[in-house]
Structure 1
Amino acid sequence: MKSDIHSVYNLLSNVSFLDWIKNPTEETDRFWEGWQEEDPKRKQQVKQAKALASSIDFKKTSPEDIRKELIFKRIQNSINEEKEEPAPNSFRAHNTQVKSDSSRIWMKWAAVFIGLIVMSGIYYFAFNNNTITHTTAFGETRNVTLPDGSEVKLNGNSSLIHSKAWESGEVRDVWLEGEAYFTVKHLGAQQKFVVHATSDFNVEVIGTEFNVLNREGKTKVVLSSGKVILNLQNETKEERLQMAPGEMVEYIHDDQVLTKKEVDPMVYTSWRNNRLIFDDTSLLEIKSILESTYGLTVKIEDKSLLEKRVYGSAPSNDISLLLKGLERSLGNQILIEGKIVTIK
């Protein structure tokens, strides 16, 4: 393969990436072009993912149609492109190994297209007139009331997709890219509420309060109250994990690993009250927040600072005050030049 299959798959599972392909803007062009410049391998991954995603008209093609013969023909074409040149006669004895290699290639591409089928369902759903999409810009938060009366607060650089209405007894499905805090209304009919973070990982609840952060190949779920069940289901494993209040579960997409630990939910949910709390938080984690939520480029001159732990709090709705608070907590000088932040 020319690039890591999981990286291409992650791009195909990324709502923002697919939005960029379908509806590019100057802002999203800058973001994705900048992302590619950070690592030369990413350009090839983006090229492959764009070719796969652009080959299907998500607006007009239903999931059932995508399952038909054409998609498997594309898989076969991809396999043919990956096959090695025919072996010389003296190496015919290794034919079994060639078949084995082809099988592995088939399984890798089949996994990608299975994921693409799932994502096509999401995007067929997203482009349907019966759905609503909510988005936030960098540094913006937004309160959303869902059709069932549940409340969602979206953090910066996030998007949420859901139906305009849910029938009685229907599963309340929503799709999240970014970060959101959910206060789910409990319905008498025990009607499930499901947050889809990736094509193989979702959060299932009845009525509860929890935070979901879904960015950069990781999904974190923090439970404030009630009960949730996490579902991991893909071609290699199926796992259900129940959470209790005060627990955080992190899912690493590429590794397909779930880890659970006890936390203080306020540290991870204080942003909804326009506050960020740092409690033994590494500068590396803070850098990720500043870049993914606020759209900043953070440069750290001394790389050893990345592991420095930070304690304290700062307002999250004023970036200048946030950076001043961080400067005091770190004890290091912070310079701001437009969208570029340098920590000395």
Structure 2
Amino acid sequence: MMPHGAANKHVPGIISSPAKASTENNLSMSDAFRDTGIEGYLSDPDFRAWVLEPTPAMEAQWKAYQAAHPETAGIVAEARQVLLEVRSHYNKVGLNEAEIEARLAQVRAAAMAPRLQWRPRVWATAAVLLLLALSAAGLWRWLGAQRPAELSFATGYGETREVSLPDGSKVQLNANSRLRFAADWEGVQDRAIWLEGEGYFQIEKQPGPDTRVRVHTPSLTVEVVGTAFNVRAQVEHTRVFLTEGKVTLRDEAGTPAVEMAPGDLVVYEETHPEPWHRGRASPEEETSWTQGIIFFRERPLAEVLDRLGALYGVAFEVPDSLLSRPVTTGLPIEDLSLAQTALEKALGVRILLAPLPEP
């Protein structure tokens, strides 16, 4: 028997989970926000720093806080979304302080108007306006002072994350992936994004015919105007699936560009004599991970295990005779134990976790 998953070069190894914050720290954080509602989180500098400029230490602290106080999950998620909406709006408008104060005066007047109707579709906008009225220009100035030239985001093993781009577009990062881009796209026609790993992109229509979003992987560039697509960039190949719109693929070698239509799947293997491989695929197989499930249809077990190994940072040990066996199943991407159990039931055999080899 040999371990599978470890052979995938996209798997750097097992990383340990961050240590939880102390019980005393969690209690003090809980007391600090007690009875303050969403305003308490929005006005807290540490909370804003965690949402807008997270570090591993911040992630560990707030993860421990939410684990100790699960009742705060809803309000924490809402406060995070409000801050991200504010930053997205701030990136789009170049207001000076006088203009900000004038806008805030309008917001306060609107907030005091009778019979203000709140609709689910506009909750984010309303929350942003409420935040601005509460925090005045101070938060805007804080955001401007803290905004870095470039933003970067990463996910750990078994973790997914949604990222907002400066123009309001969305990217959902799969596990063990990294994304970076400029913090401000105002007036920028060539809007570059760098991806390692896997991401599902929902790009807003760009403001002019000369404005392009370009997603760069180690071997390939995806050129976009406004569309939705999935990119998986691994060492061996880059895989692009288009769900809607149109994209153009270009490689570093300067071979002829490839135009994609919805439903197209293109796999690019840089070291292959014929690097471009084009076909059709279903959204179920290519994008189901955005719903928390990876779906495989008649795929060899070796491929399934390599994919799981990349997402979880582990290797699997199974008899070599099973590696070519076709598998049709759906597996969760945020629960390794459940994925292992589901795969064992689908195959009718025991699958063992194996130690990762030395890099």
TM class, shorter-chain normalised? 0.5 to 0.7
Q: Aligned match of 2:314 in 289, 296, 303?
A: 296
SS of match in other structure, 2:162: strand
Alignment-derived partner of residue 257 in structure 2: 240
Once residues 352 and 314 of structure 2 are traced to their aligned partners in structure 1, the CA distance between those partners, rounded to angstroms, is 12
Give deviations 1:75-132, integer Å, cap 9, x for gaps.
xxxxxxxxxxxxxxxxxxxxxxxxxxxxxxxxxxxxxxxxxxxxxxxxxxxxx95111
What code does the residue aligned with 1:284 have? A
1:1-344 superposed matches below 5 A: 27=15, 129-190=148-209, 191-198=211-218, 200-234=219-253, 237-255=254-272, 257-300=275-318, 302-336=319-353
Instruction: Give unmatched runs, 5+ long, in structure 2.
Output: 1-8, 17-146
What code does the residue aligned with 1:282 have? P
Distance of aligned partners of 1:217 and 1:314 in 2 relative to their CA distance in 1, 3 Å threshold: closer
Query: Cα distance, 1:291 vs. partner?
Result: 1.4
Once residues 154 and 145 of structure 1 are traced to their aligned partners in structure 2, the CA distance between those partners, rounded to angstroms, is 11
Once residues 26 and 309 of structure 1 are traced to their aligned partners in structure 2, the CA distance between those partners, rounded to angstroms, is 27
Distance of aligned partners of 1:26 and 1:320 in 2 relative to their CA distance in 1, 3 Å threshold: closer
Once residues 266 and 189 of structure 1 are traced to their aligned partners in structure 2, the CA distance between those partners, rounded to angstroms, is 33
Alignment-derived partner of residue 81 in structure 1: none
SS of match in other structure, 2:168: coil
Distance of aligned partners of 1:228 and 1:159 in 2 relative to their CA distance in 1, 3 Å threshold: same
**Count, aligned residues:** 216
Does the CA contact (< 8 Å) of 2:192 and 2:215 recur in 1? Answer: yes
Give deviations 1:217-274, integer Å, cap 9, x for gaps.
210001111111101232xx42200111111100112226010011112211111100
SS of match in other structure, 2:189: coil
What code does the residue aligned with 2:260 have? M
Question: Which is worse superposed, 218-227 or 318-327?
Answer: 318-327
SS of match in other structure, 1:185: coil
Once residues 15 and 341 of structure 2 are traced to their aligned partners in structure 1, the CA distance between those partners, rounded to angstroms, is 27
Once residues 299 and 335 of structure 1 are traced to their aligned partners in structure 2, the CA distance between those partners, rounded to angstroms, is 5
Q: CA RMSD in A?
A: 2.6
Give deviations 1:153-178, integer Å, cap 9, x for gaps.
11111100100011335211100001
Give deviations 1:176-200, integer Å, cap 9, x for gaps.
00111101111231321111012x5
What code does the residue aligned with 2:192 have? D
TM-score by length of 2: 0.56
Once residues 324 and 331 of structure 2 are traced to their aligned partners in structure 1, the CA distance between those partners, rounded to angstroms, is 20
What code does the residue aligned with 1:293 have? L
Once residues 279 and 329 of structure 2 are traced to their aligned partners in structure 1, the CA distance between those partners, rounded to angstroms, is 22
Does the CA contact (< 8 Å) of 2:14 and 2:313 recur in 1? Answer: no
What code does the residue aligned with 2:301 have? L
What code does the residue aligned with 2:307 have? I
Alignment-derived partner of residue 108 in structure 1: none
Does the CA contact (< 8 Å) of 1:155 and 1:178 recur in 2? Answer: yes
Does the CA contact (< 8 Å) of 1:143 and 1:152 recur in 2? Answer: yes
Give deviations 1:298-322, integer Å, cap 9, x for gaps.
122x213111111121322222111
Alignment-derived partner of residue 77 in structure 1: none
Once residues 255 and 299 of structure 2 are traced to their aligned partners in structure 1, the CA distance between those partners, rounded to angstroms, is 32
SS of match in other structure, 1:304: helix
Instruction: Give unmatched runs, 5+ long, in structure 1.
Output: 1-10, 18-24, 29-127
Once residues 198 and 167 of structure 2 are traced to their aligned partners in structure 1, the CA distance between those partners, rounded to angstroms, is 20
* Greater length-normalized contact order (CA 8 Å, ≥ 6 residues apart): 2
Does the CA contact (< 8 Å) of 1:251 and 1:258 recur in 2? Answer: yes
SS of match in other structure, 1:148: coil
Does the CA contact (< 8 Å) of 2:185 and 2:191 recur in 1? Answer: yes
TM-score by length of 1: 0.58
Distance of aligned partners of 1:245 and 1:139 in 2 relative to their CA distance in 1, 3 Å threshold: same
Higher-strand-fraction structure: 1
Q: Percent of aligned pairs with the same residue? A: 34
Query: Cα distance, 1:280 vs. partner?
Result: 1.0
Does the CA contact (< 8 Å) of 1:183 and 1:209 recur in 2? Answer: yes
